[in-house]
Structure 1
């Protein structure tokens, strides 16, 4: 089966233009990771994680990848591809962005199954949290986490977020809303 045209990287002048636009987006380095703008070459990993985690089709994964990536142009924040510094292997994604029903920007993440439980999500999300403080300000973004997702709720707590009961009351009992605020020393 031939891959959909929209999933194929551009060539020629279009490829150079895409690279130039991506170069204007932030790159964040941590001790073990590189967080950068997504490329179409990252789409297979994104699709795999979406299929494994949510049962998405390739078309659904493409749609989500596209709108998270578009956040950079529309809102000034968006999807980061997370790769290992030592070999540039893509291991996951962190987003500071908006979904249709979000009331405020959300810090979220997805990692491949083999790269979970190794501290990569904590390291990458902490870097994007700090980027969010600089860009949006303290208290201006949240994580929406299912009440039953113990690992993600624990991660939000490790990142210094606090539950926002007022925001939770507006969306219902099945979601926790974790608000990120800088601690002033």
Structure 2
């Protein structure tokens, strides 16, 4: 884990480049990073950029939810015995680097999908699925009726779909993305029609 933080300093000062070098790695690895800073994984920063609205509209809620997940840099980092990389670190930032070997396959499934009334009384679907335990796990893509719902990889095993069509059934599927590729899992049909 790398961080650039100094108490009392503004976000716009002390941008740093941190150089990381690791030697003695046994085997081949792929690497990826999770990032939190002013522009990544920061719903509060997004809320400030859109003018700190209150109450929030449905579109603003969706915008904040998209910023609420850990940002993953999918740049292809590789290591075999030796690893070296430079990380651009703005003030008040954290980067988690994961170097992983390919792991065994696994079966994930959506455990439940609940139709409920959400914010502003609008129908929404709350989805929960099995969390991946693979070392090379990067995140999830979620699909409704064959269309991808998320812009960035999801890193939690739940999602609220608040943009559903009233009066029809929906089918959901999940794709787990690993450093060594991705795997799509079977679809989950939402049993109850929303009215």
* TM-score normalised according to structure 2 size: 0.26
Rg larger for: 2
Higher helix share: 1
Q: Which has the higher contact order (CA 8 A, sep 6+)?
A: 2
Higher strand share: 2
* TM-score normalised according to structure 1 size: 0.26
